[in-house]
A and B are shown apart, each in its own frame.
Chain A
Amino acid sequence: MEDAKIVELFFSRSEEAIAATMEKYGAYCQSIAYRILHSREDAEECVNDALVKAWGAIPPKKPTHLGTFIGRITRNKALDRLDYQNAKKRPDEVALILEEIGDTIPANAADNVADRITLRDAINDFLGTLSKKERCVFLRRYWYFSSLGDIARDYGHEESYIRIMLFRTRNKLRLYLEKEGITL
């Protein structure tokens, strides 16, 4: 079913909207959540929470790309849950990702909503300066939480190559943010 049709179902408050979304994007959301949480059950719960949130958000929101919309909610839910689990267990891969990305962000940045919006826009602008491949690899790692091995396989490179590419992109991002006035 097309996204527009599913969104119409949301608007008509038909429960078929949930079923259709689950059918079309369930696996996609599940994979996003699983890569962050590394627990099938937690991932399922995350996806369910995301669907509930989407049910509440549509309407009034009318997403053009339902997959991206629901995926973004799932990711946020998974990150919230990860934070909740922080003390208990954190998958090694995710810990590594958090460590990598943590060095990039200025310490005193994004303390309030305005700063967060500024940071988000800066990152969007920065991504626009990258090549498509650099951008995809970056987002595969830090949006989708893919392992280096998976990215390397998907893009036909060695892991070491992807690692170096990400290292350089992070450095570029840090310099970009500093240049934009988002300094440590």
Chain B
Amino acid sequence: MKNKKMLQAIGGVKGDYIREADPRKVDRSASKWKKIVLAACIGGFAAMTALNLFLFTPLKGKEIDYTVHENSPYYNVILALKPFVPARNTPHNNFEKLMRFMRRLGKGSHILSNSSPMAALLGEQYIETTDNQVEGVIEGDLLKRSGNYAYYLHDGYLAVYDVTDGMESYDIQMIVEYGMPPLDTEEIIEWGQLYKAYERRPEMFLSEDGKTVTIIVQGIQGFEVYRVDVSEPRDIRLTEERWFSGGFCEARMVDGKLLIMSQEAVTTWDFDKESSFLPDSEERGKAKVVDPANVYVPEEVNQSIYTVVYMLDAETLECMDMGAVLSCWSRFYVSQDRIYFISDAQGEKGKQSTEIVAFSFEGYSIILEGSVKLKGWVENQYNLDQKDNILRVVTSTGNGGNLYCVNMDGWQVVAKVEGFGEEGENVTAVRFDGDTAYVCTAKVELQPSTSSVPVFYNTDPVFQFDLSDLRRITYKDTGVIPGFSSSLIQMGDGYLLGIGEGEEVGSLKVELYKETETSVTPVCSYEEKNVSFSHVHKDHYIDRENGILGLAITDGDGQTYYLFLRLQGETLESYKLEGLVAERIETARALITKDLICVFTDVQGNAYPALWETAQGDVSEEQDTTGEETPPEFEGETEGTPHTESGIEPGMEPDTESELGTDEVASLGDDR
């Protein structure tokens, strides 16, 4: 009877429950969904089969008739591209066709939101943190600063820090995610010949009023330019983004114009359609190709890749003009009115040359100006300098260095010094300072198995060239000293700081030089063995005003620290900030405020009590001007012992010309 009692009890359950379970009201959607999913699977399979047949069925190709393009303003470009056109030009199938189309999609800009209404009222004045090569030509970097805030770019994030109010408020305030993380090696290989561009770092600019951050970052198949409204640093907003095809190289900001250098491969060979084989930007849905007068076709086109400069209005990100070189070049020098594209070494070993192409810019126009070919090759942007319409270039030849002065009116070499340095040496660092050029050379022997790992450094001098009279270029040098510099920094008052490596491979050597009437004299040096650091100039903290240099270092045990060196008279004080955590030390950046030393890495941001009073930015007026030193608040040591290897004490003049300096009259250029 138990079951009967139970059924009777169940019979008395609430009417709501009975109606809820009513078989007539059962929602059979679950089983219905099963059927729908099954039908969708079958349909999807059929659709996929049909799509595969459509996408991958081979298409019939056709040969290109180049003669029909004879009247095209780009005919010279088309002929230059001819050797690179694959035997079968048309896409193999519809999939390739679709991919080519997709690559062209997405160009243009997207306004995400309007700037903050508070933007006109708020904002902090810009304080330069990057050691720009040319005054007025701002270089993009990972760190920028306004009065109270630091903006640091790392691994897809823009972090905003309050850097003025002591340790408590020093923290990440906001993070905005953008772009793509760096591609790994396999992806780089997959994307082929643009790999160099994909290795480039993102760059960032901060507007003069401190209200807008502009970020340029590499993505897949193209790079993106973002504008972020930071007028309210605790509520930053992405306001606009713009996509460009190709690989991002470098950027500069000059007088409200954003100059972006990039590389763009030709992937389609439809010469009837200009936007398919020329660099272009998209404005209001329309492709705007580079003007034919602004395309330079070198004699030696190394790849079917354009090196491009886009000029953008920094306010609107609208592309105003562009210029291009049909070759894959990756070094650039930007003066206040010109952009120089620098080729890789061309020609046979021992007879290499470098081609330099200049685009001038005025207002919002770019004009291809001319080119010059010089013996040797160029290491980086610091090998070039423009002064009074004269382009000065230092090249390496494998047997010393050459210095050329090129008159931009006519592109003629008007003065040159060839063959300074010893046999087997190359130029490792250059710094132009007005009418003076400092050049360091060294012989670096590479490990035969790798061809890239140095195993031995020879020793060599730092040269100082006097370029005040191009008819009579004179130079002097330091004489033989151990190691070499990869970066030279003029510190004012005739002092020069060389950052590089010491006698041993895998060491750091920072050396202070002083100019005298007859030579360049090593004054003192700081050296650490068995360490590694970035040789890229932009990765160093440089404060000329206060004589402070900073750089991130990894020691032999893999421990990372940040090293500060301060020029005190003719000695170098050193302070180490231990416990720095960084995935890649080349991303480490630092700045010093009145109260803090702030160090940023791709892993963390740390603040330390200030070691020295500095004249940094807005706090300079508050400095104690009595000249008394503020003692370090944590343990440091002074290691910058006077340089005595050559028997020279600081301040001593060289006693022999052969040991410490030469004074030679440079040969005048043949083309003067």
A residues touching B (Cβ–Cβ < 8 Å)? 28, 31, 64-65, 67-69, 71-72, 75-76, 79, 83, 98-99, 101-102, 104-107, 109-110, 116, 119-120, 123-124, 127, 132, 135-140, 142-144, 146, 150, 153-157
Contact = CB atoms under 8 A, between A and B. Distances in A.
Contacts of B29: 156
B23 to A, nearest CB: 6
A106 B1 CA distance: 11
Given A120-B13, A123-B10, A110 B18 contact: no
Nearest to A126: B13
Contact of B9 (A65, A75, A120, A137): A120
B68 interface: no
9 contacts: A105-B6, A107-B2, A124-B14, A139-B18, A142-B6, A144-B23, A155-B31, A156-B32, A156-B33
A144 B6 contact: no
B9 to A, nearest CB: 4
A120 B2 CA distance: 14
A146 B22 CA distance: 11
Contacts of B8: 76, 79, 110, 116
A82 B11 CA distance: 15
A112 to B, nearest CB: 11
List 9 tightest A-B contacts by C-beta distance, closest first: A156-B30, A102-B3, A139-B21, A156-B31, A120-B12, A98-B3, A105-B6, A68-B15, A154-B26
Interface of B: 2-15, 17-24, 26, 28-34
A99 B3 contact: yes
Nearest to A76: B11
A84 to B, nearest CB: 12
B6 A102 contact: yes
A138 B20 CA distance: 11
Which of A31, A65, A68 has most B Cβ within 10 Å?
A68
Given A72-B18, A143-B18, A101 B3 contact: yes
A31 B23 contact: yes
Contacts of A119: 5-6, 9
B11 A75 contact: yes
A172 B227 CA distance: 60
Contacts of B26: 136, 154-155
A150 B11 contact: no
B3 A105 contact: yes
Contacts of A143: 10-11, 13, 18, 21
Contacts of A124: 12-14, 17
A120 B9 CA distance: 5
A109 B2 CA distance: 8
Contact of B18 (A71, A104, A107, A155): A71
B21 A154 contact: no
B33 A127 contact: no
Contact of A136 (B3, B14, B20): B20
A155 B31 CA distance: 7
A96 B427 CA distance: 96
Contacts of B33: 156
B9 A79 contact: no
Contacts of B15: 64-65, 68-69, 72
Given A101-B6, A156-B28, 14 more contacts: A65-B15, A68-B18, A72-B12, A72-B15, A104-B6, A105-B3, A119-B9, A127-B14, A136-B20, A143-B13, A143-B18, A144-B23, A156-B30, A156-B34
A98 B2 CA distance: 9
B21 A28 contact: no
B318 to A, nearest CB: 56
A140 B30 CA distance: 17
B6 A154 contact: no
A31 B28 CA distance: 19
B28 to A, nearest CB: 6
B23 A140 contact: yes
B23 A79 contact: no
A116 B21 contact: no
B24 A28 contact: yes
Given A68-B18, A156-B33, A142 B23 contact: no
A83 B24 CA distance: 27
Given A104-B6, A140-B23, A79 B11 contact: yes
Nearest to B19: A68
B21 A140 contact: yes
Contacts of A107: 2
A153 B31 contact: yes
Contacts of A142: 6-7, 10
Contacts of A137: 21
A155 B13 contact: no
A75 B22 CA distance: 13
B9 A116 contact: yes
Contact of B13 (A67, A69, A127): A127
Contacts of B34: 156
Nearest to A115: B5
Contacts of B14: 124, 127
Contacts of B20: 132, 135-136, 139
Contacts of A75: 11
A135 B18 CA distance: 10
A60 B208 CA distance: 88
Contacts of A157: 30
Nearest to A127: B17
B244 to A, nearest CB: 51
B21 A135 contact: yes
A182 B15 CA distance: 23
A119 B12 CA distance: 10
A136 B15 CA distance: 12
Given A135-B21, A154-B23, A155-B30, A72 B11 contact: yes
Contacts of B4: 79, 83, 98
Contacts of A76: 8, 11
Nearest to A105: B6
Contacts of B2: 102, 105-107
Contacts of B3: 98-99, 101-102, 105
Contact of B10 (A101, A106, A155): A101
Contacts of B30: 155-157
B23 A101 contact: no
Nearest to B24: A28
Nearest to A118: B9
Contacts of A156: 28-34
